[in-house]
Amino acid sequence: MNISAIHDQLWLRRRHGSHGLRLRGAQQDQPAHHCAFGSGFGQSGPLSHKGGQDILAQALTGVMARKPDQSLPTSVYATALADYSAGMHLVQGILLALMQRDKTGVGQSLSVSLYDSMLAMQMQEAAMWLQRKRELNWGAFPLTGVFETTDGAVVIVGAFKANPLQDICRALGLPDLSADPNYATFAKQVENKAELHRLFRSRLSTDTTAHWLAKLEEQDLLCAPVQTLGEALASEQTAANNMVVSLAANGDGPQRAAALGRLADHHGCLGVPAAPCAAYFERARHGDPGRIGLCAGPYRCVAHGQGAVMTIRFVVKGHVARVTIDRPDRMNAIDEASEAELMRIWSVIEQDEQVRCIVLTGAGERAFCTGADMKQSGNKTGLEYWAAARPGGFGGLALRETLDVPVIARVNGHALGGGMEMVLGCDIVVAADNASFGLPEPRVGRLALDGGIAILPRRIPHVWAMGMLLTGRRVPAAEALGFGLVNEVVPQAGLDEAVDRWIAGILACAPLSVKAVKQMVRHGARLSPQEAQRLRLPALVAALQSTDQDEGVKAFVEKRAPLWQGR
């Protein structure tokens, strides 16, 4: 097939929210052209007028109605399943049409809808229903389920073994339930699934995810941790599969995207450039979701058109997001591409309810962050730099008002300029004894306008703040501790241990209570104590009517550690 000879023409139709490709009359004018039409529910029939929306397709095709347990409420599947599958089916159809045209020289007409794709995905289930009028539901099998642990959840699939129930019981340290008449056969396991799962839940809730995965895998059972998207993107398997790539997008610098596949004899990959999150949501509000890639790491980007390497490492594990500015050769100074990536990371974290704590640090032992990378800032004047949009202050963090997750600054070295401004945007500061803090902008004719001048006089006594702002001098960690800028100063070798203590303290608290504390402190900062006390913020209400507040009191009475659910 000579791909370079393909000159297919597509006409885009968007009507009442319907997304599709409209090609009419093309084959009369150009018989070798293909006509590809993508719609929500087809070109005819009683639903053809409806907008092509993913959730509607899920609801109308039986996908939404299928649940692992019928006692659960019917809900929306949060990933755009129909959009993706219909797009892949459309691509497959186009490829088949191209192969056929190579043989006949004649173009093809093809049509794909979200509705058709959702039904096609259920081929096994549909065959069982059409031939035997029986429901096939893999998720409802009695030895399959998702079970919470002390720090997350595991999924177990008890199948493809001679006696999977016996193996599950061995892994969990339970008596052999397969010898119990109530569970001896598959039919009995289905009948008594609720009690069976109650026994599993009770046992799995006593230890960590890692502990139970090791036990389950010893018995060669199918099992996996339930990961957040951030954890999946940062996993070793994702890196081994090269699934997160760096692409240039419209000259706006490096963007992150998920790779769709790689060619064995080519270094490139199939992917889509990522649009900035804010722009994506703006388009979504106006009915045009556009294109957006995945913007978490760890990853390496090359700034478009500059050749300047920027690295931000982002890992989520055990409810803790760790963000590392990895430019030690530049004293972890931040260029425009780095700052854009940081802003996207904060946006990702804000949408991930599983993240309960953030640790921000710099690579190496010399610098936390030394602010803007002046060698790569081009010829911008101070006024031009100040005029550039910088939501949330320096690094998207110094003045950010939407991040309700506690942020710990792990200050491993110099925190200067914008680096100190990011420290001021953190909630807890743990510094190595070789760290220093300063706002030296006046010494190069600039100003600390991205959080430094605004926050520092509110954080420490006026004369101490002015002493730093008017001289640009660096303050050693011990002195910063005396100012109240730092919570703790430790030797460099003990920095991680100290940070981990603070993390443990945060994770010991109910996540909704912690979120409410941040919201109340932020909103009450400019109010009198009486006015602040009267605040009725959404996070406060959510915390006080959560199941966690019941669990906290119950755990206290029972003299045990609470098991927080974040709801």
Diameter over CA atoms, the chain: 85
Would you call 200 helix, strand, or coil by DSSP? helix
- Tracing tokens 């203590």 back to the chain, one arrives at 501
Alpha helices in 378-487 (DSSP H): 382-387, 418-424, 452-459, 462-471, 477-483
List the beta strands (DSSP E) in 210-253. 222-225, 244-248
Structure tokens at 179: 């010898």
Q: Dump the DSSP string for 102-166.
A: HHHS---EEEEEHHHHHHHTTHHHHHHHHHH-----GGG-TTEEEEE-SSSEEEEE--SSSSHHH
**φ/ψ (deg, to 5) at 369:** -170, 135
336 is catalytic: no
Cα angle, residue 116 at apex, residues 115 and 122 outer, rounded to 5°? 100
Query: Residue written as tokens 């003299």?
Result: 559
Handedness of CA 108, 113, 115, 119 (dihedral sign): positive
Phi-psi label, residue 136: left if phi above 0, alpha if psi -120 to 50, beta otherwise: beta
Q: Which residues contact 11 (CB under 8 A, 6 or more apart)?
A: 21, 22, 23, 24, 26
Amino acid code (one letter) for 234? A
Cβ-Cβ contacts under 8 Å for 493 (sequence gap 6 or more): none
- Residue 37 structure tokens: 């039409």
User: What is the per-residue burial (b if ≥16 Cβ within 10 Å, else e) of 302-341?
Assistant: bbbeeebbbbbbbbbeebbbbbbbbbeebbbbbbbbbbbb
Task: For helices 164-172 and 193-204, give the axis angle rounded to 10 degrees.
Answer: 30
- Pick the catalytic residue: 148, 341, 441, 488? 441
339 is an active site residue = no
The active-site residue out of 125, 336, 339, 421 is: 421
Closest CA to 511 of 561, 560, 546: 546
Phi, psi of 548 (to 5 degrees): -65, -35
Distances in Å between the alpha carbon of 342 and those of 138, 322, 324, 338, 398?
Answer: 40, 12, 10, 6, 12
> Which residues have a catalytic role annotated?
421, 441
